[in-house]
Structure 1
Amino acid sequence: MVRVARPGDEAEILRMIRALAAYEREPDAVKATEASLQAAMFGPDAGVHAFIAELDGRSVGLALWFRNFSTWTGTQGLYLEDLFVDEAARGRGVGRALFRALAGEAARRGYQRIDWAVLDWNIEAMDFYTRIGARATRGWQPWRLDAAGIARLAAEG
């Protein structure tokens, strides 16, 4: 049911990323392309990984992740960038299967953490995460420096 993403999966991965963006009320935010996904996931400097869930021979779920690092544990970990399950496949154990694959990968690599963010209005997702044994981190706010901010700061030279 869950397998490691491989070259040739870029179109399905992009489809699920776009569906996730639509669900998250940002349908026009996706700038990724099949080519950019191919480079990030399967190119010489690949640092992005994914698991794909399949039902009846078709892709229905995605867990896209990359490595992070905790100075407190002194180990790398997984940062889950995107978790998506097609609406028709929800409630069938696909999300749990994707998280089992992530946990197995983290355990094999000796990682101490899997981190991710969830939108504050996505109560269904939070309920699911609680059911699988996750907990919300308190006291930390996610912050981001976007492309325009990076350019401005880099230009300060």
Structure 2
Amino acid sequence: MIRTATPADVPVLHTLIRELAEYERALDEVRATEDQLTQALFGEHPAAHAHLAVDDTTGEVVGYAVWFLNFSTWRGVQGIYLEDLYVRPAARGGGHGKALLTALAHLCVTRGYQRLEWSVLNWNTPSIAFYESLGARPQDEWTVYRLTDEALVKVSRMTPHRMGTAQ
């Protein structure tokens, strides 16, 4: 079963996020707190959304998807960017990952969004095989770049900038 996360789910969601980071060999990079997740998902202006995969037999949350809306200037419409998709190892193969992606694809189609996009680590061959089995194709002509931490601060200070609003 797939359901929308509620504020009461934040502790288990935070645990799952940490499990994903450990799987991706980056647990030391997780800085998000439960309070931050609560604000991001359920605050006055939510920045992201979450769906949970729940085992039908036990009622245990076994996976999650966190996503947010993006926009394609070429298509002229919004889409979904899937930030995280994770299913606990013991629950893999039970259809939970497929159900999460199906739910997001359904949201795209019913809301008129024309893209569902995400990134996957190059070494994560089980996930790559899974995504490709569903018809997803890598966008290998694009390379993701990221500024964080000191580099982000350094670039922010390079050039004087002015941000204003149109009158």
Same fold (TM over 0.5): yes
Tell me the TM-score normalized by structure 1.
Answer: 0.97
Deviations 1:95-130 (A, max 9, x none): 000001111111121100011000000000000001
Shift, 1:138, TM fit: 2.1
Matches within 5 A, 1:32-51: 32-51=32-51
The ranges of structure 1 where at least 4 consecutive aligned residues each deviate by more than 4 angstroms after the TM superposition are none
Q: What letter is aligned with 2:110?
A: R
> Matched residues in 1 for 2:62 and 2:81: separation?
21
Equivalent position SS for 1:72: coil
> Matched residues in 2 for 1:70 and 1:147: separation?
27
> Matched residues in 2 for 1:6 and 1:147: separation?
30
Equivalent position SS for 1:92: coil
Tell me the TM-score normalized by structure 2.
Answer: 0.91
Matches within 5 A, 1:1-157: 1-55=1-55, 56-156=58-158, 157=160
Q: What letter is aligned with 2:44?
A: P
Deviations 1:15-66 (A, max 9, x none): 1100000000112111001000000000012120011000121100101000
> Matched residues in 1 for 2:10 and 2:140: separation?
35
> Matched residues in 2 for 1:54 and 1:76: separation?
28
Instruction: Find the structure with the greater CA-based Rg.
Output: 2
> Matched residues in 2 for 1:116 and 1:3: separation?
20
> Matched residues in 2 for 1:109 and 1:33: separation?
31
Shift, 1:8, TM fit: 1.2
> Matched residues in 2 for 1:154 and 1:140: separation?
24
Equivalent position SS for 1:82: strand
> Matched residues in 2 for 1:129 and 1:118: separation?
9
> Matched residues in 1 for 2:77 and 2:151: separation?
29
Return 5+ residue gaps in structure 2 as ranges: 161-167
Q: What letter is aligned with 1:33?
A: T
Deviations 1:115-153 (A, max 9, x none): 100000000000000111111112100101113222222
Instruction: Work out the percentage of aligned pairs sharing the same amino acid.
Output: 46
> Matched residues in 1 for 2:73 and 2:63: separation?
31
What RMSD, in angstroms, separates the aligned Cα atoms of the two structures? 0.9
Shift, 1:6, TM fit: 1.1
